[in-house]
Amino acid sequence: MSDQGTLLIRSRRTVLPGGVTEAAVFVRDGRVELIGGYDLRLDADRAVDLGDLPLLPGVQELLDVARDRGLRVGLATGNTRAILERRLGRHGVFGRFDAVVTRVEVERGKPHPDIYVEVARRLDVATDACLVLEDSVLGCEAALAAGMRVIACPSVVTAHLTFPAEAQRVASLVDVQL
Going along the chain from its start, the domains and CATH numbers come out as 6-49 (no CATH), 59-175 (3.40.50.1000)
65 within 8 A of 42, measured Cβ to Cβ: no
75 within 8 A of 99, measured Cβ to Cβ: yes
pLDDT the model gives residue 51: 52
Tens of pLDDT, residue by residue over 129-170, are 999 999 889 999 999 999 999 999 887 777 888 999 999 999
pLDDT the model gives residue 1: 34
pLDDT tens, N- to C-terminus, the chain (178 residues): 334 443 333 333 333 344 433 444 444 444 444 444 433 333 333 333 445 556 778 888 888 888 898 899 999 988 888 888 888 888 888 899 999 999 999 999 899 999 999 999 999 999 999 999 998 899 999 999 999 999 998 877 778 889 999 999 998 888 888 8
Q: How far apart are CA 64 and CA 28, in angstroms?
A: 37
pTM of the shown model: 0.71
CA 151 to chain centroid, in Å, comes to 12
6 within 8 A of 20, measured Cβ to Cβ: no
Burial zone of 42 (CB within 10 Å; 0-12 exposed, 13-18 middle, 19+ buried): exposed
Cα separations in angstroms, 122 against 59, 86, 117, 127: 22, 22, 9, 11
